[in-house]
């Protein structure tokens, strides 16, 4: 079957053949899903194959369940997730169910156990997932190269058993491999009934010889039987006929991008809203307070600024803000609002937060108590966790992008810098490795060209915590200028204790760890940082000596300068003094 799409999209030609061989029942199962439009861009094409263990009467059911659940559930996962996250969660869930069924049997050889291999083609990458002794191959020229390894334990020359399979244990270790692909690449999935009897070079020869993949697949199954195969035989052949292009602004919705909305007048009616007043204006966007004409519900409407209307990258990120907001449900993240009618232009409608930014709160509360700071940080962290669960990194966490409403609820706003794992896989051309956040709050690794991670957001949260308690930044403006590993190694944390006595030593240690220039030296997760702000962390040593350079860099250099001045005076006296 040739997958067609009127737009430039990923296209494949795929054929398969499966036979029970000499056995009364075919316990192999295979499948393929090649969606169109939005799902094709965001999730890709999925191919899967499973082989039930021959000793079990439930082998066929296990293989069918594994393949069907994978091909159905994978497309139900969040499009914000990476292929690896989505596929591994689905495979793990299938393993749990199969193992539960296996435990109901007295004999493991009669359990719901099967091998499993899957290939997902998304964007310009191939993703392989594998458990057991079925195989995934890739054709290189006229040679067939394995992309998987058999999980089989050999007891003797004539005896072996599966070391890994779905349904075999409570948990499962899944092999994963990702490779770039190009047009005309060919992938092969096979069960051991074929590849144990037909050598790889013969499989490659027949595929290269036959333009008709159906004929090649059927011929290889017959060849396995002729070569003495006594097992079920299955082969899937997938040829990439064209790579897609997901670099256009409309790839998020599968529809053409709307033109930027004109800046509305105040007051005025605009696409089902009544514009009340201007809330904020900058060189990048304008935000207005509005209400729905039908219900009177308040909303914040965000419009692209006039200067940015010809910048395609900006407009793409602008549209992505709403895409993000509609996929995160958290009381600590700004929510998107339904539109009263179909939009004709590009603007964003979100919930209206009546309150103040964290920046204004900090100006109004220059000496907050530690418990109040903890409470705000914990709410921000819960908002960040909602992003991270969707494999999104905020990348621009700062006091101006955090709101506190009249009830004291803290919300993260402004998603223009968010990096989404699944979207960047679908459209890698969109990831320009730009530093989109404010430099004083951005993690140092971003300035070296590394991608942001959850620990990058943790760094930003740590900087905010430090600033709330001290009114200063832990490295001043030096982070934005440290664009090399050498410069970052020279960054010195200034102890919060040197600025204010309101910060206990163990809290200072937690802050120091959170804002370490080295990502691996920070806390592993947000909750660990929050816990260290409430009680001394396990690695805190109250008796540990902290050099003056780290505790108070200003005082250290003042002392060095004083010593140098004394030495210079003594030297001057020796050289020019009277004898």
What is the distance between the alpha carbons of residues 307 and 327, in angstroms, rounded to a whole number?
29
Q: How long is the chain?
A: 579
561: pLDDT confidence band, cut at 50, 70 and 90?
A: confident
pLDDT at 7 > cutoff 70: no
Supply the pLDDT for residue 249: 44
- Contact residues for 119 (Cβ-Cβ < 8 A; gap 6+): 46, 47, 48, 126, 127, 128, 136, 187, 189, 238
Residue 206: which H helix or E strand, with range? helix 200-209
Cβ atoms of residues 134 and 116 within 8 Å: yes
Domains and CATH numbers, the chain: 11-245 (3.60.40.10), 250-351 (3.30.200.20), 367-546 (1.10.510.10)
- Contact residues for 362 (Cβ-Cβ < 8 A; gap 6+): 368, 399, 467, 468, 471
pLDDT at 571 > cutoff 90: no
- pLDDT above 90 covers a percentage of the chain that reads 73
Please tell me whether the peptide bond between 392 and the residue prior to it is cis, using omega within 30 degrees of 0. no
Higher pLDDT, 250 or 339: 339
Which residue in 503, 412, 535 sits closest to 493, CA to CA? 503
Residue 191 carries which DSSP code? -
Phi, psi of 526 (to 5 degrees): -60, -40
Category of 185 on φ-ψ map: left (φ > 0), alpha (ψ -120 to 50) or beta: beta
170: pLDDT confidence band, cut at 50, 70 and 90?
A: very high
What is the distance between the alpha carbons of residues 282 and 416, in angstroms, rounded to a whole number?
14
- Contact residues for 143 (Cβ-Cβ < 8 A; gap 6+): 200, 201, 204
Which residue in 352, 327, 398, 375 sits closest to 534, CA to CA? 375
Supply the pLDDT for residue 314: 87
pLDDT at 44 > cutoff 80: yes
What is the distance between the alpha carbons of residues 32 and 442, in angstroms, rounded to a whole number?
42
Supply the pLDDT for residue 2: 35
Mean pLDDT of 35-41: 89
pTM of the model: 0.84
Mean pLDDT of 312-334: 91
pLDDT at 5 > cutoff 60: no
Higher pLDDT, 433 or 3: 433
What is the distance between the alpha carbons of residues 474 and 478, in angstroms, rounded to a whole number?
9
Name the residue with tokens 């869930």.
93
Cβ atoms of residues 10 and 44 within 8 Å: yes
3-state secondary structure of 160: strand
Strand partners, 152: 162
pLDDT at 107 > cutoff 80: no
CB atoms closer than 10 angstroms to residue 483:
14
The per-residue pLDDT of the chain, averaged, comes to: 90
Residue-wise pLDDT for 471-488, tens only, equals 999 999 899 888 899 999
Which residue in 66, 72, 10 sits closest to 36, CA to CA? 10
Supply the pLDDT for residue 231: 95
pLDDT at 514 > cutoff 80: yes
Residue-wise pLDDT for 239-275, tens only, equals 999 987 655 445 555 456 789 999 999 999 999 999 9
- pLDDT above 70 covers a percentage of the chain that reads 90
Supply the pLDDT for residue 508: 96
Residue-wise pLDDT for 394-441, tens only, equals 999 999 999 999 999 999 999 989 999 998 888 776 665 566 667 899
Category of 32 on φ-ψ map: left (φ > 0), alpha (ψ -120 to 50) or beta: beta
Strand partners, 186: 239
109: pLDDT confidence band, cut at 50, 70 and 90?
A: confident
201: buried, middle or exposed (CB in 10 Å: 19+, 13-18, 0-12)? Answer: exposed
Which residue in 503, 508, 385, 380 sits closest to 441, CA to CA? 380
Supply the pLDDT for residue 269: 96
Residue-wise pLDDT for 49-79, tens only, equals 999 998 888 999 999 999 999 999 999 999 9
Task: Please give the radius of gyration of the chain, using alpha carbons only, rounded to the nearest integer.
Answer: 30
pLDDT at 4 > cutoff 60: no
Mean pLDDT of 210-219: 95
Q: How far is CA 511 from the centre of its chain?
A: 26
Higher pLDDT, 176 or 7: 176
Mean pLDDT of 124-142: 95
């Amino acid at each position: 079957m040739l997958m067609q799409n009127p737009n430039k999209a990923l296209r494949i030609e795929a054929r398969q053949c499966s036979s029970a061989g000499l056995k009364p029942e075919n316990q192999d199962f295979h499948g393929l899903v090649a969606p169109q439009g939005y799902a094709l861009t965001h999730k890709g094409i999925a191919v899967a194959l499973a082989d039930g263990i021959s000793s079990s009467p439930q082998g066929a059911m296990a293989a069918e369940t594994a393949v069907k659940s994978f091909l159905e559930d994978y497309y139900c996962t969040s499009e914000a997730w990476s292929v690896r996250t989505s596929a591994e969660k689905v495979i793990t869930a299938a393993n749990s169910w199969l193992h539960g069924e296996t435990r109901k049997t007295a004999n493991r050889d009669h359990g719901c156990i099967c091998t499993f291999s899957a290939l997902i083609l998304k964007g310009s990458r191939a993703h392989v997932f594998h458990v057991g002794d079925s195989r995934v191959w890739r054709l290189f020229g006229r040679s067939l190269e394995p992309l998987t390894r058999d999980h089989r334990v050999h007891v003797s020359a004539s005896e072996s058993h599966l070391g890994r399979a779905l349904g075999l244990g409570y948990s499962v270790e899944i092999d994963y491999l990702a490779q770039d692909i190009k047009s005309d690449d060919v992938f092969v999935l096979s069960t051991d009934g074929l590849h144990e009897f037909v050598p790889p070079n013969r499989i490659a020869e027949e595929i290269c010889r036959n333009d008709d993949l159906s004929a090649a697949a059927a011929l290889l199954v017959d060849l396995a039987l002729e070569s003495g195969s006594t097992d079920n035989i299955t082969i899937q052949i997938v040829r990439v006929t064209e790579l897609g292009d997901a670099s256009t602004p409309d790839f998020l919705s599968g529809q053409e991008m709307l033109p930027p909305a004109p800046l509305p007048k105040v007051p005025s009616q605009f696409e089902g809203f009544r514009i009340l007043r201007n809330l904020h204006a900058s060189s990048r966007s304008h935000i207005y307070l509005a209400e729905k004409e039908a219900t009177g519900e308040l909303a914040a409407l965000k419009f692209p600024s006039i200067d940015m209307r010809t910048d395609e990258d900006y407009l793409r990120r602008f549209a992505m803000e709403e895409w993000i907001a509609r996929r995160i449900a958290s009381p600590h993240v700004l929510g998107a609002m339904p539109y009263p009618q179909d939009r004709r232009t590009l603007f964003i409608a979100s919930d209206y937060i009546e309150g103040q930014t964290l920046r204004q709160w900090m100006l109004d509360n220059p000496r907050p108590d530690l418990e109040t700071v903890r409470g705000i940080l914990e709410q921000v962290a819960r908002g960040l966790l909602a992003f991270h669960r969707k494999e999104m990194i905020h990348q621009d966490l700062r006091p101006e992008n955090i709101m506190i409403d009249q009830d004291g609820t803290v919300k993260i706003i402004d998603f223009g810098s968010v990096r989404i794992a699944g979207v960047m896989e679908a459209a890698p051309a969109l990831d320009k490795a730009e530093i989109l956040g404010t430099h004083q709050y951005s993690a140092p690794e971003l300035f070296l060209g590394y991608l942001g991670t959850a620990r990058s957001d943790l760094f930003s949260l740590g900087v905010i915590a430090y600033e709330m308690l001290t009114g200063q930044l832990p490295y001043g403006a030096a982070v934005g200028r440290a664009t090399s590993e050498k410069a970052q190694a020279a960054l010195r944390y200034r102890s919060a204790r040197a600025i204010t006595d309101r910060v206990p030593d163990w809290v200072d240690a937690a802050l120091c760890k959170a804002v370490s220039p080295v990502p691996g030296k920070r806390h592993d997760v947000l909750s660990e940082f929050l816990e260290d702000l409430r009680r001394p962390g396990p690695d805190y040593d109250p008796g540990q000596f902290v050099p003056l350079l780290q505790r108070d860099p200003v005082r250290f250099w003042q002392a060095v300068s004083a010593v140098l001045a004394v030495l210079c005076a003594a030297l001057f006296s020796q050289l020019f003094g009277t004898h």
